[in-house]
Structures are given as structure tokens and as C-alpha cells.
Chains A and B, each alone.
Chain A
Amino acid sequence: MPILKKVTENKILRQAFFIAILLGVWQYIVSTGNYSELILPNLRSIWTALVDSISTGEMGERTAYSLYLIGKALAIGSGLALILTALAMLSPLFADFVKTITTIFNPLPGVALLPIALLWFGIGENSILLILVHSIIWPLILNATTGFRSVSRTQLEVGRNLGLRGLKLVSSVMVPSAFPYILTGFKISWSNSWRSLVAAEMIFGASGGQGGLGWLIYQKRFFLQTPYVFAALFVIILIGILVENVIFAQIEKWTIQRWGMIIQKEK
């Protein structure tokens, strides 16, 4: 069959095909009528909820707030990671210190810091930020450090031979050379913090009328508006896919793939 062949050959079509099957199964189970709308809503009601929450601006607002928080945390986290890694490279003693705290904190899930964050900052943006920065900073430091250690000796020497020293050597040779590791660090940081964010928001709720997607889910569940819960989950998945499979993939293509630092991905 030509259509079947086309579907099995194209990656995007193939994935769309699997998604269609999953949705079909979902709709079939709903149509048996064994489950209440409150537990397993109709695909059509989820769609209506999604369209409704978008048109009222609620979904956009919540999403924007979540993205704002994570953007702020990424800025703070990568800034701190940069400073700590740079200082660690200048002083072996400080390097030991950074290594120790990274070893201690990296295995700790962000959400586990919730009680502490509450004690320190109370309910609000700062508590969530603390958790997010925590889930961003350690994987970044870990990967950047490994990356800096794997910089080609020859390239480092070429840089020094040209007269580059100190920060200039770091930014012009070490950072681009370690870029595959740094990018991996950012990928892990993103996925850690995105997951922590949703979890933290659900537990913290909103502060001063503001809240993100996690808060939206919590709220809608409270009012038993199940289709809206699923609509929010859908948006969370969509953003995850967009960032991980589109934005990061594109950065990878422009940098380390173009530079021949990783093997070209197959179609």
C-alpha cells in the first residue's frame, strides 16, 4: 500500500500516526461510557476547554507567568554557575569547594527543598525561584566543568600561542570548545527546572493572584473542571516538546553539528 509505505518512511508522519492511534484509543474508552466525564473527559471537551482558556486569556497568562519564572531562574542559575565555574578554574582550592557542594546538592530533587524554601521565603515567587535555581545550577556546573576539562590541549595551546590569556582564553577557546557539554548542561537544567516548576506551583499555589500552569491545574482540579486540567497538561507537553525538540535541536544544528563536534543525526 503506497500510503502505508509513505507513513512508515517519514518520521513526522510516523509519529503523527502513533499519536492518532493513542487519541483513538482514548476516545474509544470514553465512548464505552464506563467512566465519568470528571475522570476521563471527551477529547472534544478538552479541545473546547483549551480553546476557551486560550480565548479568555487565562491560558496565555498562566503560560507566560511560568515561562517568566523559568526564564528568570535560568538567568540567575546560569550566571551563578558561570561565576562558580570560572572561580573554580582560577583556584584549585575553590574548585574542590565547588566540586563538594555540587556532589552534595546535585542528587537532591528541587521539590525536596520546598519546606526549606517555605521557611526562608514564605509562599511566593522567591521560594519557587530558589527551587528552580537549585535544579538549574548543579547540572550546568557539572557539565561545564567536564567540558572545560576535555578541551583539546592543542587548541588551548594555539590560543595561548596567539597571545590569549585569562578570561579571553576562556571565552574564545574554552567555551566554544566545551560547547557540546555546556549545551547538554542546559538541556538537563531546562528539563529539571520545567518539571520542578510545575510541581512547585501545584504545592505553593499562587502568590498575590499570580500563578503559572501548575497553579492552573491545581485550581481546575479543585473546581472539578477536568477538561481544563487536561488542556493545561497538553500545553505543558507542547512547551516541553517545543523547547527540547525544536529550540535545542536548532541550536545544536547551528553550532556543534555545523562544527562537526557531534555526529550528524539521521533523518
Chain B
Amino acid sequence: MADKVLIENLFVKFEGEQGNIQALEDISFSVKEGEFLTILGPSGCGKSTLIRSIAGFQKPEKGRILLGKRQVHEPGPDRIMVFQEFDQLFPWKTVKSNITYALKVNGKGKEERERMAAHYLEMVNLQDFGGAFPHQLSGGMKQRAAIARSLALNPEILLMDEPFGSLDAQTRAVLQSELVRLWQKVGSTIIFITHNIQEAILLGDRVMVMSSAPGRIKDIVDVNIARPRLPETPEFMALWHTLYGLLETKRFGENGKNNTMPGKD
């Protein structure tokens, strides 16, 4: 299939008082239409910077990002982002109106808005909290509501920055399989950041591993395992160790606790 996202020699630099940070250095890769790419990398290696650049929030220093033939200059609803931050819901709207409002801005009719909001709230198990305001939810509940909002919008490209990072193992497992099911149904292109090796293998068609300071692509690994994938299988375990090794060789420490052995998470 055709390239949906093409990134060519992307550099991003932050200039600060304590000197400059080369957040991304010479990043080039492509994502095919309908592909699910997961990104792994140590904290601070530039994963958020990369996904924010694709979303159009971060101006590159050099290089370009192409969506088909079109170059990214600004954000748009064709690339909906689930942010890593917990304050991405509008606090002045209820959980449900956060979703219906987003749909309304994107031209959906009243009836459809209501139906979609109810459907996706149920998917993330927040059906009883539609009338609550964001400040009344826990961190993980807020993330789930934001996930529901992004899924309801059904964008061509879904950009997810550690969306399941703050969820318990059960909820995470449910949402992982829901996301895969939905992706298989509607065929959107997904770029998904995670700290969790198992999650990266479970979800991705390919896993991109990054290294830090400066942020570079270490390797991109194909996941040739039939879905649904089971962590207990030998091929899964083998890939897990490959990725673990890729991450470990350089500046890997603080993320170790997130990555338990397969089958134990």
C-alpha cells in the first residue's frame, strides 16, 4: 500500500537557557496506509516530539513530513492526537460534551453525535460518567475519555502518545484488544507510543525503537506474528528479548520497571 506518512531527514532542536537540546536527529521512516506502528524508547528520547511534529504542533528545524503529497504545516482533524498530558479534556465541558463537541466541530449531526458518544464511552467503560466534569475523574479515567473522543472522531491517522500509560493491567488489556478490533474494522493508520515492550509487540505491525541524546531511530522491527497475539508463544518471547536488547544497550534504566517479562504483565 501507499505511504500514508513519510518523514524525511527530520531534525528538531529546542533552544534553551541551559543550551540546546537536539531532540530529534535525522529521522527518516514511513508508515503505510492502514499500518499500526508502535514506537519504543527511553524517557526523553524524543517520542513525544516526533509525534507532535507529525501532528503539526512542532516546527522542524530541518527535514519534512509528508502526508501523501501534502507537507505538514499545521495541525488538522485528519490527524487526531491523544496527548500524554492529563489536562487534554476541556474542563468546562462534561465528559460526554467533550466528545459531542469534538464531533460537532467536525460536522456531525446531533443524533449521530449522541450515539457515537454513548458508544465510545461504553467502550472505555465510562458510560456512568458522561455527566461528570473532568476534574471529578481520576487520571486514568481522563485518559480513557480522551481516547474515546479521539476514536469517535475516526480520523485517517491516529496519533497516540502513551495512551494506556496510566491504566491498570486489566483495563489496559481490554482497551488494547478494543483498539486492535476497531483498527481492523475501520482501517485507520495508527502511530502509538509506549514504554511497554509487550504492548508494542501486541499492537504493532512494526515496532520502531529509538535511542536518546540525540533522538535517533535505533531500529525498526517487523512483527511477523499472526493476530491475535499471545505473549506466551516462543516467537513473542524471542521478539521481546530482541527489543529489550535494543533498548538496553544505551541509556536504559528508568524504564526497566515498566517492562516485566512476557506473560507476567
**Which A residues contact B (CB, under 8 angstroms)?**
152, 154-155, 157-158, 160-164, 173, 176-177, 179, 255, 258-261
Q: How far is the CA of A28 from the CA of B106 in the complex (A)?
A: 70
The residue that B87 contacts in the complex, of A155, A162, A179, A258, with Cβ under 8 A, is A155
Complex formed: what's the CA distance from A261 to B76 in Å? 28
- Residue pair B133, A259 in contact (C-beta under 8 Å): yes
Which stretch in B61-69, B78-86, B240-248, B252-260 binds the other chain?
B78-86
Do A157 and B77 have beta carbons less than 8 Å apart? no
Interchain nearest-CB distance for A257 vs B (Å): 10
Q: Judge whether B74 and A258 touch: CB under 8 Å.
A: no
Q: How far is B75's CA from A158's CA once the two chains are assembled, in angstroms?
A: 9
B133 touches A162 (CB 8 A): no
- Which residues of chain A come closer than 8 Å to B81, judged between CB atoms? 157-158, 161
A162-B105 in contact given A154-B83, A258-B133 (Cβ < 8 Å): yes
Would A161 and B91 be within 8 Å (CB), given that A154-B85, A258-B133, A260-B135 are in contact?
Answer: no
Known interface pairs A161-B81, A259-B92; A154-B105 also in contact (CB < 8 Å): no
B residues adjacent to A (C-beta < 8 A): 55, 57, 74-77, 79-81, 83, 85, 87-88, 90-92, 102, 105-106, 133-136, 153
Q: CA–CA, A173 to B101, complex, Å?
A: 12
- Contact check, A163 vs B76: say whether CB atoms are below 8 A apart: yes
B83, A163: Cβ atoms closer than 8 Å:
no
Q: Mind listing 8 A-B residue pairs with CB under 8 Å?
A: A155-B90, A161-B55, A161-B81, A163-B76, A163-B106, A176-B90, A177-B91, A260-B91
**Contact of A261 with B55 at beta-carbon distance under 8 Å, contacts A162-B106, A163-B105 already known:** no
Specify the chain A residue showing the minimal Cβ separation from B81. Answer: A161
- A residues less than 8 Å from B92 (CB atoms): 176-177, 179, 255, 259, 261
Residues of B within 8 A of A157 (CB): 55, 57, 75, 81, 83
Kindly state the separation between the CA atoms of A173 and B134 in the bound complex, as whole angstroms: 15
A61 to chain B, nearest CB (A): 40
CB of A162 within 8 A of CB of B77, answer yes
B85 — which chain A residues lie within 8 A by C-beta? 154
> In the complex, are the beta carbons of B87 and A161 less than 8 A apart?
no
A137 to B193, CA, bound (A): 47
Contact, CB under 8 Å: A161 / B75: yes
Please name all residues of chain A whose beta carbon is closer than 8 Å to the beta carbon of B83 when the two chains form the complex. Answer: 154, 157-158
- Which chain A residues lie closer than 8 Å to B88 at the CB level? 154-155, 158
In the assembled complex, the Cα of A94 lies from the Cα of B55 at a distance in Å of 30
**CB-CB under 8 A for A161 and B80, given A173-B90, A176-B90, A259-B133:** yes
Closest 7 A/B residue pairs (Cβ): A260-B135, A176-B92, A154-B85, A163-B77, A259-B92, A259-B91, A160-B75
A154 to B146, CA, bound (A): 12
A164: contacting residue among B55, B105, B134, CB under 8 A:
B105
Distance in angstroms from A46 CB to nearest chain B CB is 45
Most buried by B among A161, A173, A260: A161
Q: How far is the CA of A115 from the CA of B83 in the complex (A)?
A: 56
A161-B80, A173-B90 known; A260 vs B133 contact (CB < 8 Å)? yes
Candidates B77, B102, B134, B153; contact of A260 at CB < 8 Å = B134
- What's the minimum C-beta distance from A106 to chain B, rounded to whole angstroms? 28
Given contacts A155-B88, A161-B75, A163-B76, 20 further A-B contacts (CB under 8 A): A154-B83, A154-B88, A157-B55, A157-B57, A157-B75, A158-B81, A160-B74, A160-B75, A162-B77, A162-B105, A163-B106, A173-B90, A177-B91, A177-B92, A179-B92, A259-B135, A260-B91, A260-B133, A260-B134, A260-B135
Q: Which residues of the partner chain B approach A259 to less than 8 Å between Cβ atoms?
A: 91-92, 133, 135
Q: How far is the CB of B222 from chain A (nearest CB, A)?
A: 30
> In the complex, A60→B105 CA distance in Å?
47
Residue of B nearest to A152 (CB): B87
- A259, B135: Cα distance in complex, Å: 7
CB closest residue in chain B, given A255: B92
With the chains together, A163 CA to B74 CA distance in Å?
A: 10
Complex: A134 Cα to B88 Cα, angstroms? 38
Q: Contact at B91–A261, with CB atoms within 8 Å?
A: yes
- State A45–B81 Cα separation when bound (angstroms): 70
Residues of A within 8 A of B133 (CB): 258-260
For residue B135, which residues in chain A have a CB less than 8 angstroms away from its CB? 259-261
Most buried by A among B83, B90, B106: B90
Are A162 and B91 also in contact (CB < 8 A) when A259-B133, A260-B134, A260-B135 are?
A: no
Point out the residues of chain B lying under 8 angstroms from A158, CB to CB.
81, 83, 88, 90
